[in-house]
Chains A and B, each alone.
Chain A
Amino acid sequence: MAKTSDVLGEQQLGVPAEQELFINMGPQHPSTHGVLRVLLKVDGEVVTDAKADIGYLHRCFEKIAERRTVTQVIPYTDRTDYLAAITSEWAFVMAAERLMDVEVPERAEYIRVIVGELQRIASHLIWFGTFALDLGATTVFLYAFREREKLLDIFQKLTGARMLYNYLRIGGARNDLYDGFADDVRRFLDDLEDRLHEYHTLFTGNRIFESRVKGIGVLSAEDAIKYGASGPVIRGSGVPYDVRKAHPYSVYHRFDFGIPIGKDGDVYSRYLVRMQEFYESIGIVRQALDQIPAGDFIGKVPRRMRLEGDAYARVESPRGEVGVYIVGRGEENAWRVHYRSPCFTHLQLLGPLGVGGLVADMVAVIGSIDIVMGEVDR
Chain B
Amino acid sequence: MAEREDKARPEGETAGAQTFPEEIQPVVDLLNKHYPDLSPAMRADGWLEVVVDRQQSPEFFRFLRDTRGLEFDYLSDVTAVDYEDKGFQVVYHLISIGLRADRTHRRLCVKINVPRDDARTPSVVDIWPTANFHEREVYDLMGVVFEGHPDLRRILLREDWVGHPLRKDYVDRRPPRPRVVEKAPGSWR
Known: A311-B43, A347-B133. A340 touches B76 (CB 8 A): yes
Residue A63 CB within 8 A of the other chain: yes
Contact check, A4 vs B158: say whether CB atoms are below 8 A apart: yes
Residue B155 CB within 8 A of the other chain: yes
Bound-complex Cα distance A71 to B36 (A): 41
Which of A3, A63, A249, A327 contacts B6, CB < 8 Å? A249
B64-96 CB mask vs A (1 if < 8 Å, else 0) is 000000000111110101100000000101010
Tell me the A189-242 residues at the B interface (CB within 8 Å).
Answer: 221-222, 225-228, 238-242
Contact check, A58 vs B157: say whether CB atoms are below 8 A apart: yes
Contact check, A226 vs B129: say whether CB atoms are below 8 A apart: yes
Chain B: residues with Cβ within 8 Å of the partner, total of: 48
A34-52 CB mask vs B (1 if < 8 Å, else 0) is 0000000000000000000
Q: Which residues of A contact B3 (CB under 8 A)?
A: 248, 253
User: What is the distance, in angstroms, from B71's C-beta to the closest C-beta of chain A?
Assistant: 11
Contact check, B155 vs A55: say whether CB atoms are below 8 A apart: yes
Tell me the B135-189 residues at the A interface (CB within 8 Å).
Answer: 137, 141, 153-160, 165-166
Residue B57 CB within 8 A of the other chain: no
Chain A: residues with Cβ within 8 Å of the partner, total of: 54
User: What is the distance, in angstroms, from A171's C-beta to the closest C-beta of chain B?
Assistant: 15
Contact check, A348 vs B5: say whether CB atoms are below 8 A apart: no
State the majority secondary structure of interface residues on A.
mixed
Residue B134 CB within 8 A of the other chain: yes
Residue B101 CB within 8 A of the other chain: yes
Contact check, B76 vs A226: say whether CB atoms are below 8 A apart: no
Q: Which residues of A contact B47 (CB under 8 A)?
A: 312
Residue B45 CB within 8 A of the other chain: yes
User: What is the distance, in angstroms, from B37's C-beta to the closest C-beta of chain A?
Assistant: 22
Which of B76, B133, B153 contacts A323, CB < 8 Å? B76
Known: A2-B159, A2-B160, A377-B156. A253 touches B165 (CB 8 A): no
Contact check, B133 vs A239: say whether CB atoms are below 8 A apart: no
Interface centre among A2, A314, A336, A344 (most CB of B within 10 A): A336
Bound-complex Cα distance A239 to B95 (A): 14
Which of B75, B93, B101, B157 contacts A55, CB < 8 Å? B157
Q: Which of chain A's residues has its CB closest to B6's CB?
A: A98
Q: Which residues of A contact B81 (CB under 8 A)?
A: 310, 327, 335-336
User: What is the distance, in angstroms, from A81's C-beta to the closest C-beta of chain B?
Assistant: 16
Q: Which of chain A's residues has its CB closest to B109's CB?
A: A312
Known: A228-B74, A344-B133, A348-B133. A310 touches B159 (CB 8 A): no
Q: Which residues of B contact A311 (CB under 8 A)?
A: 43-45
Q: Which residues of B contact A54 (CB under 8 A)?
A: 155-156
Residue A321 CB within 8 A of the other chain: yes
**Supplied contacts A4-B158, A239-B101, A312-B45, 4 more A-B pairs, CB within 8 Å:** A54-B156, A238-B99, A253-B4, A340-B79
Q: What are 11 inter-chain pairs, A to B, with CB distance below 8 A? A: A2-B153, A55-B156, A227-B129, A245-B101, A247-B107, A323-B93, A327-B81, A336-B166, A344-B137, A347-B133, A348-B133
The 8 closest A-B pairs by CB, nearest first: A228-B130, A246-B104, A311-B45, A2-B159, A247-B5, A55-B156, A98-B45, A241-B101
